[in-house]
Structure 1
Amino acid sequence: MPPHVRGMIVMVTAMMFLPLLDAIGKWLATVDSLPPATISFSRFFVQSLLTLVIILGMSGIKGLSTHNLTGNLIRGALMGLGSLCFFAAVKYMPLADAIAIFFVEPLLLTLLSAFILKEDVGWRRLTAVVVGFIGTLIVIQPSWELFGWVSLLPLGTAACFAVYLIMNRKYGVADSPMVMQFYAGVGGTAFSALVLMAGEILGHTDMRFGLPTIGLSWGLLLAMGAIATVGHLLVVQAFRLAPASVLAPFQYFEIVMAVLIGLIVFNEFPTPSKWLGIFIIAGSGIYVFMRERSRTQEAKTLA
């Protein structure tokens, strides 16, 4: 199977997996009233410990060497900021709506991949991303209420994640996915710790440190770190296999899982128009998949 096609499959798998992280964050913020900054800190702290144990067990201390320490720490800080924005958003709005706003990100990613990575982004790929974004607008059903200050938080997450994925593509050649995730976890932990300290000084409720009051929450905090580690390892691997512009539309599959989780866990039942948007989103990813496979087969025939 060609690398591009394998990359797309890995990306879809990651996008079906990562919404569990968002759902747990929403549950902790709404049911146990944990501050979003505490949730973000715990997510990265557990990720750092988990990847550290795996690396030391597999390769020893030498396994921690990296060719891009600063870059990987910046990746983590970006994810820390993005996670904080998103966990704060889902505290106040439905999970599927927050992810729908976030999905301006594949369009940003496709544009950045052309300008920064100099990837060849044809009109068909760009059209597929735009069509997928139209699907997200149908899902979210924009209103003045939703596009208040809270709706800006997922947009902040989108910007952070787009740059993070570009850096995955840039640095993924030199370092292993596990090493990249370890240092991203360290960067995210450090950033979240700074936010917690600022929150204590400023007295901002969402930025302060808090402890779970429900026993289940302790296990969910640990689960978040594990899910984040596995999910983002898949994302890093996908970007090692395929160009960012090829993978961008497949991020829309995350909203499919988010809607299902919202229905099952939070009783947020999608309207018919939202289902229409989901089908459009999925269709854009399927089109890019079929298009890329067709191009690969044509290249083999001509070779």
Structure 2
Amino acid sequence: MAVQNNNKLGAILIIIVTIVFAAQDAISRHLADTYNTYMVVMIRFWFFALFAIWLAGRKQGGLARAIRAHHPWMQAIRAIFLVLEIYVMIAAFVMLGLIETHAVFICYPLIVAALSGPVLGEKVGWRRWTAIGIGFVGVLIILKPSGNVFSPAATFPFLCAVMFAVYGLLTRKVADKDDSNTSIFWTAVGGAIISTVVGMWFWQPMSGPDWIWMAILCVTGVLGHALMIRAYEMAEASAIQPFSYLQLVWGAMIGMAVFDDVLRTNVAIGACFVVLAGLFTLWRQAQKNIDPVPPAPAVKP
């Protein structure tokens, strides 16, 4: 029997998820330094699709129910956005490092809040618009608009945040008729098909040790996904989602310890602005009884 409404245990699980995902990001960066990103993402989605098929088979109705989507085109668009977001995210890790990529990417809940009006028809009041504005001031502080900061590389993590926000909004949009089992199945299998169509042209031989890292990457993707599903099954989303910001902390620690990334002062200050604005937005959603869009588990296949 699943334990329901256990926010404490849910918070512990989501903290573990942030650690797993931070480690996964580091492995992705390591592999992308040597191998083509398209191949790495393709292999990740293969394993993620197998996990989704196994998960669907265990649910009531099995694979037949998971395949029958009421919003097939929207589900397909979700998968496309997720694959593109992961491609760009890994490229950002290589070009900018874990710290600065995560520092900008964490603005995605603010983008969700900003777009929830035109996309979902939700009312966005002045308090949330103020929080959104403060969050984007934080992004500008991180980017430090001087010199060469507005290089193409600097726009990558922000583009990731926009794509992931749209993915999250579409996830909410399809939830009116499609359950989470269907959305996970379409995301994983659709992502595997898309990434294979692209990645099969970029296959490279991989060394033995790196195959071990690749296997760990796939396992951590499935593990993190399974733990996140479990966390949101047993706890309120508004109670545990703020802990997702800890991924920035773990990513920064790994980046400095393993890749010699440097935590610049403006990045630390800007990240604080973004996190505080995001937490305020989540609090306002909880106050108004609007369920926040949880980070879609499929973001880290």
Q: Output the TM-score relative to the length of structure 2.
A: 0.75
- 1:217 and 2:213 correspond: yes
Counterpart position of 1:54 = 55
- 1:114 and 2:83 correspond: no
Structure 2 counterpart of 1:217, which letter? W
Tell me by how many angstroms 1:35 deviates. Answer: 1.0
Residue correspondence of structure 1 range 212-251 to structure 2 within 5 A = 212-215=206-209, 216-227=212-223, 229-230=225-226, 233=229
- 1:259 and 2:262 correspond: no
In structure 2, C-alpha distance between the alignment counterparts of 1:121 and 1:228, rounded to whole Å: 32
Tell me by how many angstroms 1:123 deviates. Answer: 1.3
In structure 1, C-alpha distance between the alignment counterparts of 2:96 and 2:179, rounded to whole Å: 36
Counterpart position of 1:286 = 279
Cα distance 1:133–1:234, how it changes in 2: closer, same or farther (>3 A)?
A: farther
Cα distance 1:10–1:85, how it changes in 2: closer, same or farther (>3 A)?
A: farther
Counterpart position of 1:205 = none
In structure 2, C-alpha distance between the alignment counterparts of 1:42 and 1:218, rounded to whole Å: 8
Residue correspondence of structure 1 range 1-303 to structure 2 within 5 A = 18-30=21-33, 33-59=34-60, 60-67=62-69, 68-103=71-106, 105-197=108-200, 200=201, 208-215=202-209, 216-227=212-223, 229-230=225-226, 233=229, 254-292=247-285
Deviations 1:92-128 (A, max 9, x none): 2211212334355444322221111011111111222
Q: Is the 8 A contact 1:106 1:129 kept in 2?
A: no
Tell me by how many angstroms 1:274 deviates. Answer: 2.9
What stretches of structure 1 move > 6 A for 4+ residues in a row? 8-12, 234-238
In structure 2, C-alpha distance between the alignment counterparts of 1:173 and 1:141, rounded to whole Å: 41
Residue range with higher mean Cα deviation, 164-173 or 149-158: 149-158
Residue segments in structure 1 that go unaligned for 5+ positions in a row: 201-207, 297-303
Counterpart position of 1:300 = none
Residue range with higher mean Cα deviation, 222-231 or 49-58: 222-231
Tell me by how many angstroms 1:24 deviates. Answer: 2.2
Cα distance 1:253–1:222, how it changes in 2: closer, same or farther (>3 A)?
A: closer
Structure 1 counterpart of 2:195, which letter? S
Percentage of matched positions with identical amino acids = 24
In structure 2, C-alpha distance between the alignment counterparts of 1:284 and 1:250, rounded to whole Å: 14
In structure 1, C-alpha distance between the alignment counterparts of 2:74 and 2:288, rounded to whole Å: 33
Deviations 1:241-277 (A, max 9, x none): 67xxxx8x98765433432332233232413333323
Q: Is the 8 A contact 1:177 1:237 kept in 2?
A: no
Cα distance 1:262–1:237, how it changes in 2: closer, same or farther (>3 A)?
A: farther
Residue segments in structure 2 that go unaligned for 5+ positions in a row: 290-301
Tell me by how many angstroms 1:165 deviates. Answer: 0.7
Aligned Cα RMSD in Å?
Answer: 3.5
Cα distance 1:102–1:49, how it changes in 2: closer, same or farther (>3 A)?
A: same
Deviations 1:132-191 (A, max 9, x none): 232233334345444322233333323321211111111123333233112101221222
In structure 2, C-alpha distance between the alignment counterparts of 1:78 and 1:232, rounded to whole Å: 20
In structure 2, C-alpha distance between the alignment counterparts of 1:269 and 1:283, rounded to whole Å: 22
In structure 2, C-alpha distance between the alignment counterparts of 1:235 and 1:95, rounded to whole Å: 25
